A and B are shown apart, each in its own frame.
Chain A
Amino acid sequence: SPVLSIKNEYLRASFHPDTGLLSMIEVLDRKLTLPVNQAFFWYNASVGDKRSSQASGAYIFRPSQQWPFPVSHLARTRLVKTALVQEVHQNFTAWCSQVVRLYSGQRHLELEWTVGPIPVGDKWGKEIISRFDTPLETGGVFFTDSNGREVLERRRDYRPSWKLNQTEPVAGNYYPVNSRIYITDGKMQLTVLTDRSQGGSSMSDGSLELMVHRRLLKDDGRGVGEALQEPGSGGWVRGRHLLLLDTAREAAAEHRLLAEKELLAPQLVLAPGQGPSYHHD
Chain B
Amino acid sequence: HGDSSPLNQAMAVLQHHDAVSGTSKQHVADDYARQLAAGWGPCEVLLSNALAKLSGSKETFLFCRDLNISICPFSQTSERFQVLVYNPLGRKVDRMVRLPVRKGLFLIKDPGNNTVPSTVVELTSSGNPELLFPALVPALGFSVYSVTRVSDQNPQTRSQHSRPQKYS
Within 8 A of B (CB), among A247-281: 260-261, 264-279
User: Is chain A's interface secondary structure helix, strand, loop, or mixed overall?
Assistant: loop
A103 an interface residue at 8 Å Cβ cutoff? yes
Bound together, the chains give a CA A226 to CA B28 distance in angstroms of 12
B151 an interface residue at 8 Å Cβ cutoff? no
B162 touches A274 (CB 8 A): yes
Q: Chain A contacts of B144 at CB under 8 A?
A: 275
A83 an interface residue at 8 Å Cβ cutoff? yes
Shortest Cβ distance from B67 into chain A, in angstroms? 7
A58 touches B21 (CB 8 A): yes
Q: How large is the interface on B (under 10, 10 to 19, 20 to 34, 35 or more residues)?
A: 35 or more
Given contacts A271-B82, A272-B59, A274-B165, 10 further A-B contacts (CB under 8 A): A83-B119, A89-B124, A268-B97, A270-B75, A271-B59, A272-B62, A272-B80, A274-B82, A275-B165, A277-B55
Q: Chain A contacts of B125 at CB under 8 A?
A: 89, 97, 99, 114
Q: Chain B contacts of A87 at CB under 8 A?
A: 121
A268 touches B85 (CB 8 A): yes
Shortest Cβ distance from A236 into chain B, in angstroms? 9
Q: How large is the interface on A (under 10, 10 to 19, 20 to 34, 35 or more residues)?
A: 35 or more
Q: Chain A contacts of B86 at CB under 8 A?
A: 266-269
Residue of B nearest to A261 (CB): B93
Q: Can you list 7 contacts pairing A with B, beta carbon distance less than 8 Å?
A: A84-B119, A270-B63, A271-B62, A274-B80, A275-B84, A275-B146, A278-B167
Chain B interface (Cβ within 8 Å of chain A)?
20-26, 47-48, 51-52, 55-57, 59-64, 67-69, 72, 74-75, 78, 80-89, 93-97, 99, 117-119, 121-125, 132-135, 137, 144, 146, 162-163, 165-167
B64 touches A85 (CB 8 A): no
A268 touches B81 (CB 8 A): no
Given A264-B89, A275-B59, A276-B59: A230 and B84 interface contact (C-beta under 8 Å) = no
Within 8 A of B (CB), among A192-207: 197
Shortest Cβ distance from A237 into chain B, in angstroms? 10
